[in-house]
Structure 1
Amino acid sequence: MKVNLEKIDKNKAGLEIEVETEQVTRAMHQAYTKLVKKVNIPGFRKGKAPKSILERYVGKAALLEEAAEIMIVPNYAAAVKETGIEPIDRPAVDIIQLDEEKPFTFKVTVDVKPEVTLGEYKGIQVEKPHYPVAEEDVNKELDRLQQRYAKLIELGEEDEIQKDDIAAIDFQGFVDGQPFEGGAAENYSLGIGSGSFIPGFEDQLIGAKINEERDVQVTFPAEYHKEELAGKEAVFKVKIKGVKRKEVAPLDDEFAKDVSEFESLTDLKADITKRLEESAERRAEEHVKNEVVKKAVDAASVDIPPVMVDQRVERMIDDLSERLRMQGLNLEQYLQFMQSDLEKMKEQYRPQAEQDVKTDLVLEAILKAEGIQASDEEVTSELEKVAQQYNQPVDAVKEALEKAGRLETLEYGITLNKTVDFLVNQSNVA
């Protein structure tokens, strides 16, 4: 195989590939073997017709085209490896010479990763923020624990609904005196003050008692996701079936024993303070990383091909679709709720996608410039983490990643993280 590389412009390359005649002969035989099994030729059992008969029946051009398909993919892959180009999209293929008795020549034109001109990425000045932990932060965490371990107490018929109570209600909604679809439910559990219902609905239940019936008057928001209800006035006939109230335990040593391994409230507070301080430190370190990377990226210049941004946008939408799927929703429902469409979403994602692509390209250029690689020990350590996460043997995880073509992705992630750490270590943090 002979390869001639041509740089068409900064982000596009051309490969003229010549395949020796011997490979053409082998490919023609493979093409015959493949096609003869598909074609019914009178007088011959399927798969048994001689090559000359098949050629007369389907035409030599069909055999040559099949042989070309057989040769293009492996030879293109070999040419990419030989020249070191990094394609980012599907190639366009033009056949120059295709003859059974001559070398096969074809030209590939493909978008490639752009060249990055690095700016200053060592000695970056960055300030490390300080996030002090106040007593108020500790108290918020204690309050969260109180709410988490609170008991729900059934109220009696004489008790009135208060904010933060949980009411079981039957309701039916009416617009212009007519019930509407989706506007009714029985024994619905509603947190008073949760904001999960139409604005004003929950407030009008405060003060109500069990078995009481109330008419709740509300106006649907103008941007409500159901167009037929948007901006409409509605009346909900509501009956209170039951009410529960959280009973919060007092903050004392007994509470500390119930919710933690500590024997006193003082020790629990000390542990909460420590954990909040550790979290604040991690947050500060993450800020430094983000700032260092941002400044290194801003200092570099690169002409990003639109196809790379398009691909990143598609990946972002795929990620969103997967998250929605795990919540029992789909993208179409989400777009309807957001009063948007796919094209608008793509445009909204595009600036972030472009920044993400540039960040990846710059970090990749830095790791190449500095010779940063993932060591065998680091790869093994990462594989062990994945194996532990999925409760699988390390060798099985490695084999599965290799088969899926994702082992290189894992190694690449390690090198990117090492590159970020390198930038931080080389920066001047105040």
Structure 2
Amino acid sequence: MQVTETLKDGLKRGYEITLTAAELDSKVNEKLAEAQPEVEMKGFRKGKVPMALLKKQFGPRVLGEAMQESIDGAMSSHFEETGDRPALQPEVKMTNEDWKEGDDVIVALNYEALPEIPEADLKSITLEKLVVKAAEADVEEALANLASTAQDFEDRDEGAAAEKDDQVVIDFLGKVDGEPFEGGAAEDYPLVLGSNSFIPGFEDQLIGAVAGTDVNVEVAFPEDYQAEHLAGKAAVFECKIKAVKAPKAAEIDDELAKKFGAEDLAALKTQIGERLEAEYAGAARAVMKRALLDKLDELVDFDLPPSLVEAEAKQIAHQLWHDENPDVQGHDHPEVEPTEEHTKLGERRVRLGLYLAELGQKNEVEVSDAEMTQAIMSQARQYPGQERQFFEFVQQNQQMQQQLRAPLFEDKVVDYIFELAEIAEKEVSKDDLQEAVKSLEDE
């Protein structure tokens, strides 16, 4: 087999691979000889079918397999010998399209090679780490928010009308065509008006109700209601208003703390302070990571595969177009052409992506199975009730696994660089940190 270079321009590579007819025929004979002991054919004992008959019967099918295996083997040997790593899937095309059995096979191999990634002096990088302490006012604000989520209800004055966000305690009996239906009745049911937990229109009709009165609520079940025998039907709910209660924020005391799993109020405040500082640390890390990427973008320079840059620029342009046109959900829209700015950003992303990937590989940075499992579970929480199906989908989908693994890998490489870089801590206010985060979003 002969491999001849036809193109070497920057990172672009071209080769012509020639597989002679004799080599191909030898490969076919080899495959047939391997299969011969297991072949059975009428008139011959198992394993005793003559090679000439095997070739006539199975030759054409084996020929295609032999051709594919030979070309794949030649490509594998080529990449091993040259050390080239294709940036994208190589283009492989048979050039003698009028090929017939007995002719040599000539294949054109074209690809863009990944560049040599230079090393950088990571210890020379200096970074600033913003540190924010949880202020007492921030803890108190978070505590008040917790209290509002743990709100209780207390009886309104006698004769007071129910308002939105009030809780009404009711007995109700639902009827369709004058007949009660299964699941349409309850006693002492606490319903918060405005919670949208009942059929659309139900809660609105109880606004203004007074304890000790009866109210008939007339509604229609939605057309897509889960109980098919009720879907789209009109119903009347006979409601007895037993109590009207106004929302009341929970008292900020030890009892509230116990509701959230803390021993007492002081312990809850400590937990809130730690949680706030963990959130601040996460935001500060994002700011420091951007600063690091900016420095790396200046520090490392090498040729970039044009195809990767083009693909990244198109992806950026496409995403930004959808950000500006949120009403368009699908991709049935005119092709979005990347601008010079998109291409420049694409170059940065490709450069940093290739550098971090190479650095991580050289230093054996790996994402553990436990870290992957945690990432999958975190994503699965976005699909309540379907967590197991999502987990199984990811396990069977290599592309989805890569999408989840990539940011984990990048963050671990970034952490590796943080360990080498010189980092100075700077204590700032929460507002200063928010401004720094906002500047990231504006860029």
Distance, in Å, in 2 between the alignment partners of 1:144 and 1:190 is: 22
Q: How much has 1:288 moved relative to structure 2? A: 0.5
Partner of 2:311: 309
DSSP 3-state at the match of 1:256: helix
1:292, 1:424 within 8 Å by CA — same for their partners in 2?
A: no
1:363, 1:419 within 8 Å by CA — same for their partners in 2?
A: no
Matched residue type, 1:342: H
Matched, 1:373 2:362: yes
1:18, 1:106 within 8 Å by CA — same for their partners in 2?
A: yes
Distance, in Å, in 2 between the alignment partners of 1:309 and 1:170 is: 61
Partner of 2:412: 417
Matches within 5 A, 1:199-278: 206-208=207-209, 212=215, 248-263=249-264, 265-278=265-278
Partner of 1:93: 92
1:288, 1:424 within 8 Å by CA — same for their partners in 2?
A: no
Moved more, 414-423 or 26-35: 26-35
- Give the RMSD, CA atoms, in angstroms: 6.3
Partner of 1:321: none
**1:342 aligned to 321, 331, 339, which one?**
331
1:123, 1:426 within 8 Å by CA — same for their partners in 2?
A: yes
2:11, 2:113 within 8 Å by CA — same for their partners in 1?
A: yes
Matched residue type, 1:291: A
The alignment's TM-score, normalised by the length of structure 2, stands at 0.54
Moved more, 305-314 or 254-263: 305-314
Matched residue type, 2:140: N
Partner of 2:163: 162
Matches within 5 A, 1:31-430: 52-53=52-53, 64-95=63-94, 106-113=107-114, 128-129=129-130, 131=132, 133-150=134-151, 160-165=161-166, 206-208=207-209, 212=215, 248-263=249-264, 265-297=265-297, 302=304, 304-305=306-307, 309=311, 338-344=327-333, 358-359=348-349, 361-365=351-355, 368=358, 373-375=362-364, 379=366, 382-383=368-369, 414=409, 417-419=412-414, 421-422=416-417, 425-426=420-421
Q: How much has 1:76 moved relative to structure 2? A: 1.7
Aligned pair in 2 of structure 1 residues 70, 308: CA closer, same or farther (>3 Å)? farther
Partner of 1:12: 12
1:13, 1:111 within 8 Å by CA — same for their partners in 2?
A: yes
DSSP 3-state at the match of 2:89: coil
Q: How much has 1:285 moved relative to structure 2? A: 2.0
After superposition, what is the alpha-carbon deviation per residue over 1:244-302, rounded to whole angstroms, capped at 9, x for unaligned?
Answer: 87664311123223433323x23321331133123212321221112321453377574
Matched residue type, 2:330: D
Matched residue type, 2:362: Q
Moved more, 207-216 or 84-93: 207-216
Aligned pair in 2 of structure 1 residues 287, 99: CA closer, same or farther (>3 Å)? same
DSSP 3-state at the match of 2:110: strand
Distance, in Å, in 1 between the alignment partners of 2:69 and 2:356 is: 38
Q: How much has 1:14 moved relative to structure 2? A: 1.7
Q: How much has 1:341 moved relative to structure 2? A: 2.0
| Structure 1 unaligned regions, length at least 5 | 172-185, 217-235, 318-336, 391-400
1:372, 1:419 within 8 Å by CA — same for their partners in 2?
A: no
Structure whose alpha-carbon radius of gyration is higher? 2
State the percentage of identical aligned residues.
23
1:372, 1:415 within 8 Å by CA — same for their partners in 2?
A: no
The alignment's TM-score, normalised by the length of structure 1, stands at 0.55
Q: How much has 1:68 moved relative to structure 2? A: 1.0
After superposition, what is the alpha-carbon deviation per residue over 1:180-228, rounded to whole angstroms, capped at 9, x for unaligned?
Answer: xxxxxx89x996556999xx99889753568546899xxxxxxxxxxxx
DSSP 3-state at the match of 1:133: coil
Q: How much has 1:100 moved relative to structure 2? A: 8.3
DSSP 3-state at the match of 1:342: coil
2:127, 2:422 within 8 Å by CA — same for their partners in 1?
A: yes
- For these two proteins, the number of residue pairs brought into alignment is 358
Q: How much has 1:310 moved relative to structure 2? A: 6.9
Distance, in Å, in 2 between the alignment partners of 1:137 and 1:349 is: 44
Matched residue type, 1:341: G
2:217, 2:237 within 8 Å by CA — same for their partners in 1?
A: yes
Distance, in Å, in 2 between the alignment partners of 1:75 and 1:355 is: 37
2:94, 2:108 within 8 Å by CA — same for their partners in 1?
A: yes
1:126, 1:288 within 8 Å by CA — same for their partners in 2?
A: yes
Aligned pair in 2 of structure 1 residues 291, 34: CA closer, same or farther (>3 Å)? farther
| Structure 2 unaligned regions, length at least 5 | 175-183, 220-233, 320-325, 377-394, 427-443
Distance, in Å, in 2 between the alignment partners of 1:82 and 1:170 is: 81
1:132, 1:277 within 8 Å by CA — same for their partners in 2?
A: yes
Matched residue type, 1:92: E
Aligned pair in 2 of structure 1 residues 269, 65: CA closer, same or farther (>3 Å)? closer
Distance, in Å, in 2 between the alignment partners of 1:90 and 1:339 is: 31
1:193, 1:203 within 8 Å by CA — same for their partners in 2?
A: yes
After superposition, what is the alpha-carbon deviation per residue over 1:317-363, rounded to whole angstroms, capped at 9, x for unaligned?
Answer: 9xxxxxxxxxxxxxxxxxxx954322459959999999578435424
